[in-house]
Amino acid sequence: MRKHATNAVVTGLGAVSSVGHGCEALWAAIESGQDGLQPIDRFSTDGFLCDLAGLVPDRAPGDLPHRPLFSPDETGHAIRVAGETRTFPGSSGSQTPGSAAVPTRSSGSERCVSYALEAAREAWSHARAGDAGLPCERIALCVGTSHLDQPDPDRADAEAHWLTEVIADSLSIGGPRITVSTACSSSTNALGVGRQLLEAGMADLVLAGGVDVVTPENFAGFSALGVLSPEKCAPFSEPPGTTLGEGAGFMVLEDVNRAKRRGVEPLGALLGYGLSGDAFLATAPDPRGRGVARAVRGALQDAGVEAADIGYINAHGTGTAANDASEWLGLQAVFGDHQPPVSSTKGCIGHALGAAGVLEAIVTLLAMRRHVVPPTLHFSRPRRRGPRDPVARDSPRPWRYRHALSLNSAFWGANAAVVLGGAPAPRPRAPRHDVVVAGAGAVGPHGFTLEALGRVLEHGGRVGNQVPPFEMELFVPSADPRGLEPMTRYLVVATALALSDAGMRLRGSLRERSGLLVGAPRLSRTCCDAFRTSIERNGLPRVSARAFSQMVLNAPAGTCTRLLALKGPLNTVSTGETSGLVAVALAAELLSRREDVDLMATCGIEELDRPCPGVAEGAGCLLLARRPVAAESASHLAVDLDGWGLAGPGLLDVAVTGALEQARLGPGDIDAVFSPDPVETARRSMGGALAGVPVVSIEPVFGNAGAAGSVLACVAAVTALRTRQFKRIMVTAAAGRSTTGALVMTSERE
């Protein structure tokens, strides 16, 4: 384990945006006051009140060679681990039951892949990362996006993380591969998750960023919401409204000491990361900006800087009346009379959706290195509740500062912020906070209680594959279930059950220090069908705004936070079948490192639209807490979460070793392994890491429970520890092509 805190520095940048290909084109537009907002010629805008967007200009065929970052003789798809050669699954790997092969992609998806690869290769070349001498299993990939395929009605749903898999396979990245999807704050959260992986020692280098494209469907959806401006986006000015954009941006993140050893000058540092939930409405922010303020305060605290240290803010600044006003109130709550220059990049490149955060962070770093602040284009006259100094000009203003803030907000109240600065000096590692499993909840074919889960696991035999009918009001009396799709209802009930199991009622400030991290494999089939039906019946110009608001992966999480008043850190990740366990590990890392959170509900969810042999649906939830918070309401034997590890596909033994090292245990200290995978699959995936340790699989009872399965295995392990069947349990998840993971739980503290 590392002896010092990881100081994440940025050693490479890559960008594709509406003003051109590459970081040079992006900065040239910022410097000259040019924008990329033009009438749309890619698809018809007949019937819409707006025809503007920031589309990436096409390149001539052959201008963008698609070559991997590593040459085949360096890695290919065979990687070296501890003297062995392993092969991780490629794009033709095994399929997940209930999820067929990747479907034929639309032109929008092809653009996503093309833009992402171009930006990633620029960042990689910029960082001279090919000279880093790292095996590819020590390189991780975090991709933020809201571009998710709609499922084919003739087969099971396509998984949300397909884009990340295509990018990782193309670039031969063998470490953890994580998709982050929180709508318009996706890539900001991807940067934060990448920093988490470095901090936890789960990777030595992370390629983090995001990508999104403008499609007829998302253009129609934003139009239906009434937020598109007929004129070019003018943040904080007139007329109100936004202009959609697209593109991709990536950063290479690594430890400052590693960068120094290989002679690479850092371009800046990712000093802090904050995230929060509004717990408000689907497409409208908390009008008082309290969620924004929580995310900003969290980022400042994480960075170890004060509000007065921030010399510039790159705001979300969409240009819409509600978002601009809410954001400014949130910033005022944090900065008070100290109001640094605040500008928005969206007047230049448009609102690039899931790629917005990383592109704006790149602009911020480029400006900081040049001792200027970027302008807010198209500013005419100020709106009420706007920045005192919006940098209203056509070119950057000279300005020296050491720290900057880049901020984004999204549908369903997902706020994220990063603090950027110069390369930091190494600092001592702060002690970790103890993480405890305070409560557990499980919704599945077995029913809704931990006792029922224990009985079906004890007796064995398949219990069916669908959740039995239930009345949501019995679990959450204040909830109105009308219009909620199954995936959301399962998530809300599982989380409510975990809170009840812990004996916790969220009141006062604890609400703001309680968060939610969800592992979800795909969009709800129910929501996809509703959106498609709306288009078929009404046409794109009259698509349902409500149906569109559900077409983001974080919609279930946003609803859950609103119904249960969870206002702390909020995120949604996808890694296929292991999504749930990955969410648990990332939530535990947040709790162990941060000072702005005391409680994290962490869940995996799965929804079936029809019975499918061998596949189950449901949701599992672990309520993680810091030990002092859990002790206040402990009503059962405490279960400690002592270690967690994530690794790339086919590398479960690496994740197991990482979890054991963090827990300061050896293989002989583990009494049993719990897994959602079949027993033989779990044993084979672990290699010799835990040879001889008995494996308990929930697969004979549930079949493949998808993203819910790994958390259901965790819940089963918690019940076994509470009843003292075992003292220490390792929970593992290895299915799929994305990320493997392992957790160590113990029933008592040594």
Over residues 513-534, the mean pLDDT reads 94
Q: Which residue has the higher pLDDT, 109 or 395?
A: 395
Side-chain-side CA neighbours of residue 530 (13 Å): 17
Find out whether 710 and 689 touch, Cβ atoms under 8 Å. Answer: no
Question: Residue 79 pLDDT > 50, yes or no?
Answer: no
How far, in Å, CA of 510 to CA of 504, rounded? 10
Query: Distance of CA 320 to CAs 49, 524, 703, Å?
Result: 16, 28, 47
Report, as an integer, the average pLDDT of 679-698. Answer: 93
Distance CA 275, CA 295 (A): 4
Least confident of 400-404, 513-517, 626-630: 626-630
Does the structure show a pLDDT above 60 at 312? yes
CA–CA distance from 713 to each of 457, 554, 564, 578 (Å)? 10, 23, 24, 11
Question: What would the mean pLDDT of 672-696 be, rounded to a whole number?
Answer: 94
Burial code (b: 16+ CB inside 10 Å, e: under 16) for 572-582 equals bbbbbbbbbbb
Do 240 and 319 touch, CB atoms closer than 8 A?
yes
Instruction: Quickly tell me which residue has 């004996």 as its tokens.
Output: 503
How far apart CA 603 and CA 521 sit, in angstroms, is 12
The confidence band for 129, taking pLDDT boundaries of 50, 70 and 90, is: confident
pLDDT of residue 735: 85
Backbone angles phi, psi at 479, to 5 degrees: -85, 140
Tokens of 91: 């794009």
382 burial level (CB within 10 Å; 0-12, 13-18, 19+): middle
- pTM (2 decimals)? 0.93
Contact (CB, 8 A) for 322 and 285: yes
- Residue 566 CA to residue 597 CA, distance in Å, equals 11
- Which H/E stretch holds residue 437? strand 435-443
Please pick, among 112, 142, 184, 527, the residue that the annotation labels catalytic: 184
Q: What are the helix (H) ranges across 594-667? A: 627-631, 652-663
- How far is Cα 179 from Cα 187, in angstroms, rounded to an integer? 10
Q: Which residues contact 514 (CB under 8 A, 6 or more apart)?
A: 506, 566, 567, 568, 597, 598, 599, 600, 601
318 DSSP 8-state letter: -
Q: Is the dihedral of CA 276, 278, 284, 288 positive or negative?
A: negative
Q: Is 508 exposed, middle or buried (0-12, 13-18, 19+ CB in 10 A)?
A: exposed
CATH superfamily of 435-746: Thiolase/Chalcone synthase (3.40.47.10)
| Residue 136 annotated in active site | no
Rg of the chain's alpha carbons, rounded to an integer?
24
66 in catalytic set: no
**3-class SS of residue 702:** helix
Q: What does the H/E/C string look like for 472-527? A: HHHCCCCCCCCCCCHHHHHHHHHHHHHHHHHCCCCCCHHHHCEEEEEECCCCCHHH
* pLDDT grade for 478, boundaries at 50, 70 and 90: confident
Given a contact cutoff of 8 angstroms between Cβ atoms, the answer to whether 212 and 354 are in contact is yes
Residue 401 CB contacts under 8 Å (≥ 6 apart), including other chains: 310, 311, 312, 340, 368, 373
End-to-end CA distance of the chain: 20
Which range, of 63-72, 261-270, 442-451, averages the lowest pLDDT? Answer: 63-72
In this prediction, residue 537 carries a pLDDT of 96
pLDDT in tens, 176-192: 999 999 999 999 999 99
What is residue 749's predicted lDDT score, i.e. its pLDDT? Answer: 52
| Set 21, 147, 161, 316: catalytic member | 316
SS3 744: strand
Which of 184-188, 503-507, 717-721 has the lowest average pLDDT? 503-507
Band (pLDDT 50/70/90 cuts) for residue 172 is: confident
Q: Is 643 helix (H, G, I), strand (E, B) or coil?
A: strand
- Say what the pLDDT of residue 384 is: 87
pLDDT digits (tens, 9 = 90+) for 560-606: 999 999 999 999 999 999 999 999 999 999 999 999 999 999 999 99
Query: Which of 101-105, 351-355, 420-424, 730-734 is predicted with the least confidence, judged by mean pLDDT?
Result: 101-105
Tell whether the model's pLDDT for residue 733 goes beyond 70.
yes
Band of residue 89 on the pLDDT scale cut at 50, 70, 90: very low
> For the chain, which residues make up each domain, given as ranges?
8-60+108-421, 435-746
The alpha carbon of 56 is separated from its chain's Cα centroid by a whole number of angstroms, namely: 24
Whole-number Å distance between alpha carbons of 745 and 437: 9
Euclidean distance between CA atoms 171 and 71, whole angstroms: 10
pLDDT for the residue numbered 40: 98
pLDDT at 156 over 60: no
Choosing from 126, 147, 351, 378, the catalytic residue is: 351
DSSP 8-state class, residue 154: T
Asked whether residue 104 carries a pLDDT value surpassing 60, the answer given is no
The yes-or-no verdict on residue 211 having pLDDT over 80 is: yes
Cβ-based neighbour number of residue 704 at 10 Å? 22
Average pLDDT value over all residues in the chain: 89
- CA 204, chain centre distance (Å): 19
Indicate the fold that domain 8-60+108-421 takes in CATH. Answer: Peroxisomal Thiolase; Chain A, domain 1 (3.40.47)
Judge contact between 163 and 106, C-beta under 8 A: no
Pairing of strands 672-675, 695-697: parallel
Considering only residues 89 and 40, tell me which one the structure prediction assigns the higher pLDDT: 40
Q: Which long-range contacts (CB under 8 A, 24 or more apart) does 129-132 make?
A: 129/11, 129/12, 129/69, 129/205, 129/252, 130/69, 130/70, 131/262, 132/204, 132/205, 132/254, 132/258, 132/262
* CA distances from residue 633 to 498, 506, 602, 629, 718 in whole angstroms, order as listed: 13, 12, 19, 8, 17
Rounded-to-integer distance, Cα 64 and Cα 308, Å: 44
The full length of the chain comes to 750
pLDDT attached to residue 106: 57
Domains 8-60+108-421 and 435-746 share a fold: yes
How far is C-alpha 648 from the chain's CA centre? 17
- Is the Cβ–Cβ distance between 194 and 142 less than 8 Å? yes
Beta strands in 72-224 (DSSP E): 78-81, 84-87, 139-144, 177-180, 205-212
Number of helices and strands in the chain (H, E): 22, 27
Does pLDDT of 2 surpass 60? no
Q: Which among 436, 463, 441 has a CA at the least distance from the CA of 451?
A: 441
Q: Which of 564, 562, 558, 567 is nearest to 509 (CA)?
A: 567
| 351 part of the active site | yes
Say if CB 54 and CB 25 are below 8 A apart.
Answer: no
Find out whether 13 and 365 touch, Cβ atoms under 8 Å: yes
- For residue 401, pLDDT over 90 is answered with yes
Q: What sign for the dihedral angle of Cα 162, 163, 167, 168?
A: negative
Whether residue 31 is predicted with pLDDT greater than 80 in this model: the reply is yes
Overall average pLDDT of the 218-241 stretch:
97
What is the distance between the alpha carbons of residues 512 and 515, in angstroms, rounded to a whole number?
A: 8
3-state secondary structure 202-232: CCCEEEEEEEECCCHHHHHHHHHCCCECCCC
Inform me whether the pLDDT recorded for 557 exceeds 90. yes
Mean pLDDT of 187-211: 97
| Distance in angstroms (rounded) separating the CA atoms of residues 504 and 497 | 10
User: Which pLDDT belongs to residue 748?
Assistant: 67
Among 242, 228, 282, 273, smallest CA distance to 50 is for 228
Q: What does the angle CA 622 – CA 491 – CA 435 come to, to the nearest 5 degrees?
A: 15
Encode pLDDT of 42-61 as tens digits: 999 999 999 999 999 987 55
pLDDT on residue 80: 31
